[in-house]
Chains A and B, each alone.
Chain A
Amino acid sequence: MKKEKQQFGASPKIAKVFIYLILALLAITILVPVAWVFVASIKENSEFYRNPWALPQGFHFQNFVDAWQTASMGDYMLKSVLVTALALFLLVIIALPAAYVLARFRFKSRAIWNTLFMAGLFINVNYIVVPIFLMLNNGDMFLRKATGHPFFLNNIFILALVYAATALPFTVYLLSGYFKSLAKDYEEAAYVDGAGYFYTMVRVIIPMAKPSVVTVILFNFLAFWNEYIISMTLLTKPELKTLPVGLMNLMAAQKSAVQYGQLYAGLVIVMLPTLILYMCVQKKLTQGMTLGGLKG
């Protein structure tokens, strides 16, 4: 044992320097590419043919105007905001009551639903996106025959509904975990006072769950905002796109038309909201991750 102490204790300074060195190395590997995108977003197109490490010659804000207007990132942004907000709203108003009842009421089919939602944690969206698409497509074909108006595909509301549905298992799991930890006394007191079930839930229980609800919103905001596979599959019309899908198009277009400046401006537009949100709530987010257990 003593030997080890000497082995390590003899050079604590060198060890410390080494530790700082590898920490700095990882921090640089993460920060430099992200910072580079910000720098590149104000470069002129011709600058991209020179050394990529060179600093920009001026502040070429036109990139952002082009990305926003010509590449319609503005429109995509609006779609993304709408879809994300709608999906979050649907998720919260649907998941909260369900989680509350599943956690705190005893009834016959309770075990079935709890098990089913738990199983849902293992269903990944990437597997089921094809059947979802086909199901909606079938619905549209039927509607086209019956009424002449397809409804399900290319519909922002349906996309938001699918987002909310796929986020349900994790959200219900996280929220009911919180509801289970509450003492029974709260409801009993409310019932004694003559409050009904609904009133008790909305006025007594849900306000207490606020921190958990915030965690749920944070995580799902990031998930919905960044999602692109479902969005790409269910919104097939070119004018209906969310930001990440629009960005993918820009990436593809960049290969042929070489609009680097626009592309990086677009990148900044996509990641800036998440970065700002993260800076504001980073503590809550990393705490929430451990509170909610594990989620890949």
Chain B
Amino acid sequence: MVVGELCSPAIFSSNGDESMKKKRRGGFIVACVAPAVILFIIFMIIPTIDVFRMSLYKWGGYTANKTFVGLENFKKLSQNPKFYQAFQNSILLIVIVTLVTFCLALIFAAILSREKIKGQNFFRIVFYIPNILSVVVISAIFSAIYDPNQGLLNSFLSLFRGGSDPILWLGKPKLVIYSVAIAMIWQAVGYYMVMYMASMANVPESLYESASLEGAGRLTQFFSITLPLVWTNIRTTLTFFIISTINMSFLMVKAMTNGGPDGASNVFLSYMYQEAYTNSSYGYGMAIGVAVFVFSFALAGILNAVTKRDEIEF
């Protein structure tokens, strides 16, 4: 049977049973969609509903003793200084990582797509490398960099400031969150750069040519052509920054400091994981999850509204 061959007028067996055909079509649809839908419902929809449901219970975990407590968990949450610590750290990370990564990614994307650079490909390939590494690997690398005694950073700095009192990059409560931020920026720049490069490639060359003819410098071109035209893409990535910073900060903190020293580097989800597992207070842990979920959506919505501009067609 040569399927690709287009053949003459359709000779559908019109005398063939129409309902039989319908049945076969229905069966095919069910057979194709059902496995995906079932898997998706069991491992994603039900657990998501569970998060919300469990947040209303006081539940110690392995025992079946669940008591409905309503919003008690949320009330407890709002009075817990540890939650505020995690909250503060998360906000700090969202702001710092988003701002710095965004600026760096935009600058490097503009350079690599607008300037005539030798080895352009090489730079693009290298900048994307952190994105393919496991967070565990990145954490291990940065642990080696931050190590107080044998670390790369301290031994480099000792050239200037002497090696007598090493800086505890991951050991000082005030410093640790910035150390985590640097690791996160290191990981994310290449990803967003590639994304911005892709949308910059869609800006028609003719716009730049006519701008050059009118004598607009490179910086002017960047601010009056490139930036407005990739704005839609930038807006989408802002939402991504929030969601991925919340998630990535959890992965980093869990592997690098495990919340330490003494909870100083805890973020939203690492605090949740800690409460749910180490303290086995599942209900309370899930209340944290719900709070974070709602918060991230609200923040994304606000940012989306604030950054709204008229879309520019080109």
Contacts and interface: CB of A to CB of B under 8 A. Distances in A.
B247 A34 contact: no
Interface in B85-136: 104, 107-108, 111, 115, 117, 122-130, 132-136
A19 interface: yes
12 contacts: A22-B111, A23-B111, A34-B129, A52-B150, A53-B152, A97-B35, A120-B44, A128-B44, A128-B48, A185-B6, A203-B3, A282-B125
A147 interface: no
Contacts of A200: 3
A194 interface: yes
B129 A30 contact: yes
B158 to A, nearest CB: 9
Contacts of A51: 155
Interface in B135-151: 135-137, 139-145, 147, 150-151
Interface residues of B, number: 104
Interface in B229-277: 236-237, 240, 243-244, 247, 250-251, 254-255, 269, 272-273, 276-277
Contacts of A40: 144
Interface in B33-64: 33, 35-37, 39-40, 42-48, 50-51, 54, 61-62
Given A4-B219, A33-B152, A294 B39 contact: no
B255 A248 contact: yes
A100 interface: yes
Given A161-B43, A228-B135, A127 B129 contact: no
A270 B39 CA distance: 29
A214 interface: no
Contacts of B150: 48-49, 52, 260
A248 B51 contact: no
Nearest to A232: B254
Contacts, number: 279
Could you say which interface size class chain A belongs to?
35 or more
| 6 closest residue pairs by CB, A with B | A296-B244, A226-B134, A98-B36, A97-B32, A290-B198, A165-B43
Interface string A238-274: 0000001101100100000000100110010011001
A124 B39 contact: no
A33 B144 CA distance: 9
Contacts of B51: 127-128, 130-131
A152 to B, nearest CB: 11
Interface in A180-233: 185, 188-190, 192-201, 203-204, 222, 225-229
A204 B111 contact: no
B282 A222 contact: no
B128 A282 contact: yes
B205 interface: no
Interface stretch (B23-31, B67-75, B173-181, B301-309): B23-31
Task: Name A's interface SS.
Answer: helix
A128 B217 contact: no
Given A134-B282, A274-B133, A294-B236, A189 B194 contact: no
B104 to A, nearest CB: 8
Interface string A128-139: 111110110100
Nearest to B28: A197
B134 A172 contact: no
Given A27-B127, A192-B10, A200-B3, A94 B35 contact: yes
Most-contacted residue by chain B among A23, A37, A248 (CB, 10 A): A23
A30 B29 contact: no
Nearest to B119: A23
Nearest to A251: B140
A2 interface: yes
B215 interface: yes
Given A19-B117, A120-B45, 19 more contacts: A27-B122, A30-B129, A30-B130, A98-B32, A101-B32, A120-B40, A128-B44, A168-B39, A172-B36, A185-B6, A226-B136, A228-B255, A244-B135, A244-B137, A251-B143, A278-B132, A282-B125, A290-B195, A294-B237
